Structure 1
Amino acid sequence: MQVKTIFILALFAALVAGCKAPQSGYEVTNKLEDPLQDKAVVLTYDEVNQYLPGDIGSDYIVVVDADGNNLPSQCDDLNNDGQWDELAFLVDLAGGENKTVYFDAVPKSEVPDYTKRTNIRFGYKDEPYVEVTDEARLKSTDSPTISEVFQMEGPAWENDKVGFRNYYDARNGIDIYGKRTTEMVLDSAGIRGQNYHELDDWGMDILKVGNSLGAGAIGIRIGDEVSRVGKSEKGTYEFITEGPVRAMFELKYVGVPVGARTYDITHRISICAGDLFYRSKVSVDGLQGDEQLVTGIVNMHQKESFRMEEGDYRILASHGSQAYQGEKLGMAVLVPRNSFVETWKAPDEGEGIVETHMVAIDLEVNTPAKYCFLSGWEYQDEGFKTEDYFREQVVHAAHMLSNKF
């Protein structure tokens, strides 16, 4: 809930010396008994503008608490028009705590230098290892072919807990990088002699994907038939943002064949600092009303899954010795209750998507379907050796996602 609390300007100026004092504070509330650390809060430009004495204009926003401490934040231009659209900031909240934060509009040059805790890397395999900007998705399904073109075979994203990558070809799978460091490491993965298939100081690629959906790749279901979103007339990648709070990019697919139909699909992927999961928003143009989005978890080495319900989310999960070297790995797909349809298991062999714990999600016109994919690796945190600990972390993730302000 948003609550405007009016303060006397002179009093607040004493609390936040050196900042232009806003007229009102924005209140965030933890409705849970458990504490929330690094809770990501996202507000639009117009929402932020309500809490400032004048129009923001082209300024950026600094977020401070009542004691004058800066909170990590970033202003993101989501449509590349030169004007930021959303403010994202991180806040820590004790159980049941209400906290008021304040916004100050400043020139971009005066924004503090916060620690970068999210990162996107999509680069070429060969020197000078520059970032990829306008390459179309390859139509091949051959790993050796794509691995000679792109570093990590496609775009990769990470925060201070975990990393992921997308195969930028017709396979369109998603893989996991287990991390043993809070540093951003994927810029150098797989180049200059580094082999991410072998355990390094920072971690490694920990998932075997095969012809499954891996770690949350997507398909479209019509009736009983599921088609992988991979082949398309054209596929593209667009970088949106990265910084101290979150990173975001889009994968677009034009002319995706599903039976006798074709669709245009946009998959927006983001990851926030401190989370064990990434977030997906999938928009499909050309819907006729009988389609569902499908995602899932590879079950190549863990044939059993389990279901959970927590907060606003229904959850499909697995835990077992399913990481690359046989170590314990837990994975989960969290789907909003109001769009969750059902779960089932794909065949272990055959054509199409195999070896996957599947989940179907409702698709609506002009409304993106949403889900999150979570990973917990025992070399990252020994607690993940046990299913009980993994379940606790999944519950905490659902609380973080359900806790609305």
Structure 2
Amino acid sequence: MSCTAEKKQTLTITNPLAVERAEVLSIPYTDFKQIYNRSEAFRLIDEKNKEYTYQLEKGEGDSTQNVLVWVELPANGTITLQVQPGKPKPMEARTFARYVPERFDDFAWENDKIAFRMYGKALEGRPDNAEGADIWAKRTDKLVVNEWYKKGDYHKDHGEGMDFYDVGMTLGAGDIAPYADGKIIFSKHYREYDVLENGPLRSMFRLKYEPWEVNGKKVSVTKTISLDAGAQLNRVTAVYTVEGADADRLPVVAGIVLRKGEGGQAMKLTDAKVAAYWEPAHGADGTLGIAVLGESPIDSITENNGHLLAHFTATSGKPVIYYNGGAWDKAGKITNAKQWEEYLRNEQEKQEHPLAISIK
């Protein structure tokens, strides 16, 4: 029997940027097991005995793939965490996603900042049919999707926010579609869904679409969308399957519908891989900022078909990855086009300079 004391390993997280960061950190579970390779529950504690909340993420796998941790770091700051056996403190969910059969097969999701929905099969053919991504303006950190659907009065602001975004037959707030002969080639609405994660720090789901014709090719798509606590943007992974010639080159666009009226500002931030829009004011409802940020290379950003379009080239079976989302001025955090651009540039910089993880 060995009398050697077990060495306590620590997890050190460093912010390499000169800006404050509050975000969900994803630690690969294979790395995390170097610190804690036991089956029982655990707590994450820093040097000041502060406990950090976490989520074990399976995602698209059958077992835990990542440990998601909510962290807040100052500019160029560092925190050190130890793992201790024990039941973690309760955490209120900050993200949520669900299928909404009571509203024509909607799929809705949200976090503590913003909410979204995509449209399902039952909406097709109706006078109120719409195509792209819808966004709901929020000014509460509460999760409101269930309550708003139950009351059915979410087109009025009762102090928490509202849905005043008009999607129509457009890509709305950053949906993606093939692009051929200068036109957006819309699919029908999603046919299948699968909730992969549902909080408390990240919700993730998959939407599947049936094949349709695109410029002589048979095309289908699966979209996997995730939203983290504290984020204004979703991460979207679109995988197209293409049958026919030139399957390695399918032009696609992630687009933002442009509005009539004064005060709107479209921003083509090619250096930051961002297509952004600060809408004209919607009367007393306020103003929304909408954006598409590329993780996959953006070929170009143009204004066509009443949209601001981020152009990508999809290859059959391989993902196109980008971010979409928005911000509402009445939420009080981002209140004008300049602040929206600054937020997006910071997000792009964070992607290029992720938090550093060291195990000692």
- TM-score (ref. length: structure 1): 0.76
The match for 1:308 is: 269
Q: 2:29 aligns with which of 45, 51, 54?
A: 45
Residue deviations 1:84-116, cap 9 Å, x none?
22211111111111222234566xxx3321121
Q: Structure 1: which 5+ residue stretches go unaligned?
A: 1-8, 11-20, 126-146, 348-354
Check whether the contact 1:61–1:75 (CA below 8 A) recurs between aligned residues.
no
Q: 2:95 aligns with which of 118, 126, 134?
A: 118
Check whether the contact 1:292–1:361 (CA below 8 A) recurs between aligned residues.
yes
Residue 403 of structure 1 aligns with an amino acid whose one-letter code is: H
Q: 1:318 aligns with which of 250, 274, 277?
A: 277
Alignment of 1:319-398 (within 5 A): 319-323=278-282, 327-336=286-295, 339-347=297-305, 355-364=306-315, 367-381=318-332, 383-384=334-335, 386-398=336-348
| CA distance in 1: counterparts of 2:334 and 2:65, whole angstroms | 39
Deviates more, 1:204-213 or 1:254-263: 254-263
SS at match of 1:395: helix
How far the C-alpha of 1:346 sits from its partner, in A, is 2.7
Residue 282 of structure 1 aligns with an amino acid whose one-letter code is: A
How far the C-alpha of 1:235 sits from its partner, in A, is 1.8
Q: Does 1:235 align with 2:155?
A: no
The match for 1:250 is: 206
How far the C-alpha of 1:229 sits from its partner, in A, is 3.4
| Higher percent of residues as strand | 2
Check whether the contact 2:131–2:168 (CA below 8 A) recurs between aligned residues.
no
Residues 333 and 68 (structure 1), Cα distance of their counterparts in 2 relative to 1, 3 Å cut: same
The match for 1:68 is: 49
Deviates more, 1:197-206 or 1:300-309: 300-309
Residues 339 and 324 (structure 1), Cα distance of their counterparts in 2 relative to 1, 3 Å cut: farther
Q: Does 1:177 align with 2:113?
A: no
SS at match of 2:48: coil
Q: 1:27 aligns with which of 6, 12, 15?
A: 12
Residues 326 and 281 (structure 1), Cα distance of their counterparts in 2 relative to 1, 3 Å cut: same
Residue deviations 1:199-236, cap 9 Å, x none?
222110031111110011110135645312335xx721
Check whether the contact 2:29–2:64 (CA below 8 A) recurs between aligned residues.
yes
Residue 173 of structure 1 aligns with an amino acid whose one-letter code is: G
Give the number of the structure with larger relative contact order, counting CA–CA contacts within 8 Å between residues 6 or more apart: 2
Check whether the contact 1:301–1:322 (CA below 8 A) recurs between aligned residues.
no
Q: 1:87 aligns with which of 44, 67, 73?
A: 67
Residue 109 of structure 2 aligns with an amino acid whose one-letter code is: W
The match for 2:350 is: 400
SS at match of 2:290: strand
The match for 1:155 is: 107
| CA distance in 1: counterparts of 2:159 and 2:187, whole angstroms | 34
Residue deviations 1:124-157, cap 9 Å, x none?
32xxxxxxxxxxxxxxxxxxxxx4x44xxx1111
Check whether the contact 1:256–1:265 (CA below 8 A) recurs between aligned residues.
no
| CA distance in 1: counterparts of 2:343 and 2:304, whole angstroms | 26
The match for 2:127 is: none
| CA distance in 2: counterparts of 1:301 and 1:105, whole angstroms | 58
How far the C-alpha of 1:358 sits from its partner, in A, is 1.1
How far the C-alpha of 1:61 sits from its partner, in A, is 5.1
| CA distance in 1: counterparts of 2:85 and 2:282, whole angstroms | 46
**Paired positions, count:** 340
Residue 359 of structure 1 aligns with an amino acid whose one-letter code is: A
Check whether the contact 2:252–2:313 (CA below 8 A) recurs between aligned residues.
yes
| CA distance in 1: counterparts of 2:168 and 2:161, whole angstroms | 21
